[in-house]
Structure 1
Amino acid sequence: MERRRFLATAGALGAASTAGCAGLFETDENTSGRGGEPPLVANRPDAVYYPTHIEQMEMIGMGSVGDAKVGLMYSYPHRFWTMESAGTQRVNVQESDAVHLMATLWDGDTGTVLSVGGGLTLSITQDGEAVSGKPPWPMISQNMGFHYGDNYALDGDGTYTVTVRPGSVGARKLGAFQGRFEGLEPVDIEFEYEQATRNSIPYKTLDVQGQKGAAELMEMDMMPTSTVPAQGELPGRVIGTGSSGDADIVATVVEDPSFVDASAYLAVSPRTPYNRVPLPLMGLSATVSRNGSAVYDGGLGEALHPDLGYHYGAELDGVQSGDQVTIAVDTPPQVARHEGYEMAFLDMGAVEFTAE
């Protein structure tokens, strides 16, 4: 997929949780001067699996962009996979890469992590001279959830300025989010980079690498990570669940919703197993049949609601217990993936169930 088109389709992501720093990283091995990544696991499963290693991040800084906030972090440069027309494409670390730079955008009131329809861009300068201007990829990782990231070259130790230019949130905004996150302003964030500091970032090889499962999401006081509500916390009536391509799919119906002019609202929430990270940039459609006749047959649009989180939804007359429901995956998530996610969410069949 062409890069700019890929970035331009992003929506907005689900509600996040914040807490004190989780005990995800151990300090029992020497991490200084780390050179290279461990080899990939042989015979990786077609599912979410534990990566070869996890690493902490160095916080660069935060800023305000209109009615949203943005945070910047970096870690070691590392491999990741982009989505292309023929499948995933591995991006290897280049000799010139100094850091993997990551940006997260969120609503300061609710902690909801956002993505932007026009694509978030980063430009790096030093003493007024351009260092890099390539846009980062929207991507998912096991310990950070959804973010924007890429590997970047720097001109050695020194002071750098990163200009973050977010666009507008492209997903349909519902409830308290209606009319917000439009035309977000750029912000400059300055930071000091030292290779020695980067080399001291904690890093741990996992004994369970290659096994089905996922590393825990990082929890931080200063900024959120992206999750969607647990099944039992979704508003409305959960009518069915299923799995497709190792993604969990949860469907709920809100009767007489206050946020749309309709009798009912169907919300479908695809999320990663284990961590409930929302899966953006999908194409979904739904068919609801009653007594052999379709009462709804159409697409599900990207949407954002404070209580539903990031989801795909549509107005309809209602769903009754016993209705036959099919959720079709027309396009799998068009996001880049860190190690552990690159084998999942690719071959995604339809989910069928009888409405509860």
Structure 2
Amino acid sequence: MRRRDVLRVAGSTSIVGLAGCASVFETPSASAPPMAGNRPDTVYHPTHYEGMKMAGMKQQDGYKCALTYSYPHRFWLMKPNGTTKVDIQSADSVHIMPVVWDAQTGIIPPDINPQLTITQNGESIDQFAPWPMLSQPMGFHFGDNAQLQGDGTHTVEVSIGGPSTRRTGSLAENQGNASFEFEFEFSESTLDEISYTDISDDKEGTRGAVDLMDMVMIPDSQVPTPDALPGDVRGSEMTGDARFVVTVLEDASRFGGDGEQKYLAVSPRTPYNRTMLPMMSLSVTLRRDGASVFDGILQSTINPELRYHYGTTVSDVQTGDELTITVDSPPQTARHEGYETAFVDMPEIQMTL
């Protein structure tokens, strides 16, 4: 059920606190506790969470890339009929996560689709495209379980493609491909040092979330708080346990409009941690005095101030206008435990601006 199967495609630096754990093939994650009973259809506290380590960091062509890893994870894929669980396989060695961000702004773009090639002693070990994922402690990232060939030095090449999401401002200048090569010294003893935290039985499965980890050298995937968004914030509402914040910018020229048009931006985020929710399809209807004045899709966009959001140009937005936001497709990201029941069934939102 890993991405390469579904699609048929062919010295570490500590980032978080350390704690002793079991061996690579008998990790706490490999024998992860049973799922919490009666999981709510919301964000909830998972049964456990883990830290991670960084194998290196490189910079090229306006991007920085950190290669990180942790214990193998169970996770869920989004399918047309809901989510599908991916269990840990006995041969899985690590959950490997290349984190790529724009060097100037620190924004993590969710559209660069990294490809990983792992070799050892000149021989190919694995080649795959990690899944775009949501995790409570990690936020948005790309990751997958990888099968290494025991201890030793591995070469990991991370290649990223050109962006598929509209970028504005200084981000529009960073449109190229890039590749990064890491020498990854893997050992069971180093993996054993990664922290592993059980959540108490009375807390797991209850509403809430684990805090984002402090990754020190790596930026996070949070979007701005409502009061930090540019423009005139007109309100926010929840659907599918995601919060949607709406703001209106007076000048739409930097978003493809003219100076007399306004820019209507919708900024979805997870509750508790404000992690961005990419890879959605959204449309809106704007009504004034009962008549429709705009009906169309929102375009996914990355902007230095708004960060990842969905937006459109409109002729005008007036106080009292009625806005309907329709989620045509929920976030098409894989989810780690605690997120797999949320952001799936997302009824339309109605707001008075």
**Alignment: residue pair count:** 336
Partner of 1:191: 184
Q: Distance in 1 between matches of 2:34 and 2:243?
A: 29
**Contact 1:65/1:184 (8 A) holds in 2:** no
- In the alignment, structure 2 segments of 5+ residues that lack a partner are 8-13
Partner of 2:11: none
Q: Distance in 2 between matches of 1:333 and 1:193?
A: 33
Partner of 1:178: 172
Moved over 2 A (4+): 1-4, 30-35
Question: Cα offset for 1:114?
Answer: 1.2
Q: Distance in 1 between matches of 2:84 and 2:134?
A: 15
Question: Cα offset for 1:227?
Answer: 0.4
Secondary structure in 1 aligned to 2:191?
helix
Q: Distance in 2 between matches of 1:321 and 1:333?
A: 30
Q: Does 1:200 align with 2:190?
A: no
Q: Does 1:110 align with 2:87?
A: no
Partner of 2:283: 285
Aligned AA (1:144): M
Q: Distance in 2 between matches of 1:147 and 1:26?
A: 21
Structure 1 residues 21 and 100: alpha-carbon distance in aligned structure 2, compared to 1, 3 A threshold: closer
Partner of 2:129: 135
Q: TM-score, normalised by structure 1?
A: 0.90
Q: How does 1:251-330 map to 2 (within 5 A)?
A: 251-260=246-255, 261-262=257-258, 263-330=261-328
Question: Cα offset for 1:258?
Answer: 4.8
Aligned AA (1:123): T
Q: How does 1:85-96 map to 2 (within 5 A)?
A: 85-96=80-91
Q: Distance in 1 between matches of 2:142 and 2:76?
A: 13
Q: Distance in 2 between matches of 1:294 and 1:176?
A: 34
**Contact 1:285/1:327 (8 A) holds in 2:** yes
Task: Indicate which of 229, 234, 237 corresponds to 2:229.
Answer: 234
Q: Does 1:245 align with 2:275?
A: no
Task: Indicate which of 154, 158, 167 corresponds to 1:164.
Answer: 158
Deviates more, 1:35-44 or 1:74-83: 35-44
Q: Which has the higher contact order (CA 8 A, sep 6+)?
A: 1
**Contact 1:67/1:184 (8 A) holds in 2:** no
Aligned-residue sequence identity (percent) comes to 47
Question: Cα offset for 1:129?
Answer: 0.7
- In the alignment, structure 1 segments of 5+ residues that lack a partner are 8-19
Q: Distance in 2 between matches of 1:65 and 1:140?
A: 26
**Contact 1:105/1:114 (8 A) holds in 2:** yes
**Contact 1:279/1:333 (8 A) holds in 2:** yes
Question: Cα offset for 1:220?
Answer: 2.1
Q: Does 1:71 align with 2:66?
A: yes
Partner of 2:347: 349
Q: TM-score, normalised by structure 2?
A: 0.91
Aligned AA (1:292): G
**Contact 1:116/1:166 (8 A) holds in 2:** no
CA RMSD of aligned residues (A): 2.0
Question: Cα offset for 1:209?
Answer: 1.2
